[in-house]
Amino acid sequence: MEHDIASPAEAATTRRRALGAAVALLVGGAVPLTASPAAARSDHDCTGEYDAEFEAALAAADDLLGAEEMRGIPEGPPQQYALPLRRGFRVTAPYGIRGDWLAGHHTGIDLAVPQGTPVYAVGSGVVLVARWSGAYGNAVTVRMPDGHYALVAHLSSIAVREGAQINAGTFLGRSGATGRATGPHLHLEIRARRDYGSDINPVSYLARRGVRLL
């Protein structure tokens, strides 16, 4: 009986695929066999979110501003929470889908809108970072009174300054495709802590506070 012998190129490809699968398991768990990361992507979402420089800048800003900056900013749904967009959008990457992100899943929700669409704060708080944020592109990160952090990313422009105390519905900037993005959209991410990987579902977070995103 004859057996097919793989060429050196085919063998190398097989080894690369095996290595990729092993890395995916180590970083974020197994990817479901029924859906590949590429199948969950579109032309209006994130191709990567983790950036060590941004994470360090966020931690430094959080430590510098201190908890006293939060005084006088009340929390009380629904008036203290708002939608990030005031026009229709299309969800191109829902929260939590498995993929090759460092966390092993999509840490926010991607909302496709035309370039330059106004973006608003989902909650009151203090602006920790409002600048170029690596993989997030132009982004604004707000620490809210309940200890959660709201991040809006891939903006084409930013309209607030770092250290500013803002209210829900404050104009933060305009949507774009800066950073690691495949097209104009808004990436909305809510973190329970400032650390990457502490993300929670933005849709559920807002719904519990009287704001329906979807």
Domains recognised in the chain with CATH numbers: 37-207 (2.70.70.10)
Q: Which two tokens stand for residue 20?
A: 């990729």
Q: 105 falls in which pLDDT band (50, 70, 90)?
A: confident
CA distance 15 to 77: 53
Give yes or no for residue 12 having a pLDDT over 90: no
pLDDT at 19: 35
pLDDT at 98: 85
Residue 17 pLDDT: 41
Q: How far apart are CA 201 and CA 40, in angstroms?
A: 17
**Mean of the per-residue pLDDT values of the chain:** 78
Shortest CA distance to 97 belongs to which of 111, 107, 85?
107
Distance (Å, whole) CA 63 – CA 61:
5
pLDDT at 79: 53
Section 102-127 average pLDDT: 92
pLDDT tens per residue across span 196-213: 989 999 999 999 999 999
Q: Is 203 helix (H, G, I), strand (E, B) or coil?
A: helix
Instruction: Supply the pTM of this predicted model.
Output: 0.75
C-alpha dihedral (180, 109, 52, 43), degrees to nearest 10: -10
pLDDT digit string (tens) for 143-170? 999 999 999 999 999 999 999 999 999 9
Q: How far apart are CA 50 and CA 52, in angstroms?
A: 7
State both tokens at 28. 């974020």
| pLDDT, greater one: 196 or 32 | 196
Q: Which of 67-71, 135-139, 191-195 has the lowest mean pLDDT?
A: 67-71
Report, as an integer, the average pLDDT of 122-149. 95
Q: Are 123 and 144 in contact (CB under 8 A)?
A: yes
Q: In this predicted model, what pLDDT tens digit does every residue of 54-93 receive, in sequence order?
A: 899 999 999 988 655 555 555 444 458 999 999 999 999 9
The predicted pLDDT at position 65 comes to: 81
Q: Which helix (H) or strand (E) holds 15?
A: helix 8-28
In 3D space, the residue among 60, 208, 67 whose CA is nearest the CA of residue 143 turns out to be: 67
pLDDT given at position 42: 52
**How high is the pLDDT of residue 47?**
58
